Structure 1
Amino acid sequence: PSPLHAKQITDLLPQVKASILFATDTFLSQYARVAEPGDFATLEFAVAGAEKVREETRALFNSKFGGVELLEGYGATEASPVVAVNHPDRNAPGTVGQILPGMDWKLEPVEGIEGGGRLFLRGPNVMSGYVTTAEPLAWEPVQDGWLDTGDIVDVDADGYVTIKGRAKRFAKIGGEMVSLTAVEGIAGAVWPEQRHAVVSIPDSRKGEKLVLVTDHAGAEVAPLAEWARTNGAPELVVPKKIVKVAEVPVLGTGKTDYVAIQKMVEAA
């Protein structure tokens, strides 16, 4: 089976009386587009992970399959793998839910980023350490048991976690830290039906420069700049360069393939 077989999968759901569907936003969006309303009738809820759930995916679920709750979660391989997830009775759309019981967490401030910080985890589900090719029979232990997730998150008073982005998915432009994930959100707000990815490349004047890679053939900078002005976003978050592609590269899991995109942009 392959998650790419959207029609076969949605046809199978009622046949096997599936109660829970796990997938990425990319695949859930594809399933929702091809499914008949009755295909999701046996589902109690759907759980999305590995990438941010787009508003259009959530809206599609609500309009087409009103009885199916879409729950977003967050995990890491090193944490076996679930870290946080929304609950059918405690679902806060836009967040990845609350951190699972039995885990300790802390946030370390990141220079240039307001609110939240770099997430560290400790608990019985956290791995002992990383194996390296140099010493395949030994491992590099996790420092003091605290796993550095490399993710910048914010946690509200009720414990709901909002992912701001990977630490390496921030660019420093003119001395300001800019979330590439947030910039992708701007493109998604302007052109919600298309897929977008943002990477950064070196820039002699401002340190780094944003590049938008999109499958929207008519994408231009002007609508992005207009959205930023209307919504109070600074001009430096607007990508000045756009690369248009027939299809934005994705991994087999449905995640955006940023490694391939980075290489493509640098080659161009």
Structure 2
Amino acid sequence: MLALLTQRRFAPLFWTQFLAAFNDNFLKNSLIFLIMAKLSAGEAQTRITLAGGLFILPFFLLSGLGGEMADRYDKAKVAQRLKLSELAASALSVVGFIEQSIPLLFLALVLFGVVSSLFGPIKYGILPDHLLKAELPAGNALIEGATFIAILFGTLAGGLAARNSGDPAPFAVGMTAISLACYGASLLIPPTGEAAPDLVIEANIFRSTGRLLGDLWADSNLWRAGVMVSLFWMFGIIALSLLPPMVKMQMGGDEMAVSLMLALFAVSVGFGSALGAFFCRDGIKLASAPFATLAIGLGGADLAFTLHGMTPAVATKSLGEFFDASAAWRIAFDLSLIAAAGGVLAVPSFSAAQAWAPASSRARVIAAINVLNSAFMVAGTVVFSMLQAAGLSLAGASALLAPICLASAIWMFRYGPQDPPRDPA
């Protein structure tokens, strides 16, 4: 699997995704810490959940356009132009951080979401252009690993940058340098050619999105694989939106405690992704997906049980004091279980979708799945945000994961897609 990291057909895409995900999370977590520093606990929880939803919203609106662009034009060239445009969003985020302006940082986050939504069909659609079907689980695991290890570093950097209201100099240097490096990595992605040179791009984003979802629905294997991938992202964004207020406001941790827990979550997703690729070492197999979903629900149930009745703790002075509490270790284990099981769910599901998709429309299939992902994530964040605003506790929100995961696992057992065929000998 790691041999792909030394090959040009994969390595530049890996580093482009790694650096882009770093900046996304560097900005998002810097914003989260500023929100928690400036707003009351109840208002901060709602704004944090909203931040996650706003980043995801462009995926719902623009993934269809991104898929059409990726099939119509050379995917590598589109990626390079998108990463060039991302430099402007980086500059806006630097201004917002210098001014300590939450609205400007929200706007920069939306712009990063726009670029990411257009890049999404490329980063997953390009893999089957350069990899064999048997290599797709490993390629997806590495891309997922790149994403969540970048979350680790971006989270730690965001916590450091925003600590004590934040020094703008490290944020400005880090954001600018990583954006330039990301653009440089994109220039090395090998060309793919035009998969559908006669495709006419639909200017109406709502019509193109509807058409893509209709095409996805028409193929039962692709639709069901897309739903499975979307469930992973919905569970993930809910867990990530609950984590900062849980650690800081419920358990009394500081910014570094939040960063450490987020980093643990990211590493666990990477570990789960590698485990998912291991289960598919002899071919893409989906049998592990429903069991992984049950494990996510188990982690949510135990997390709720641990948080139930816990009174908000006073702020701790060090990581040692934070982890002196036994509940901190149990919550860390539950979050790791949720994250690792999510990785096991995601890798075979996405690999199956890539393998089933026709080459001439693969990027549009990935785009349709991204729309489905964003719909699940936006719905999840909106519902949980409304429930939190109405007074739902963190324990109650965690408990909701259990019945949702149980129903999802039963659906996978009964209606899951078929395993795709292997590469011809």
TM score, norm. by length of structure 2: 0.21
**Which one has the bigger helix percentage?**
2
**Which one has the bigger strand percentage?**
1
Greater RCO, 1 or 2 (C-alpha within 8 Å, sep 6+) = 2
TM score, norm. by length of structure 1: 0.29
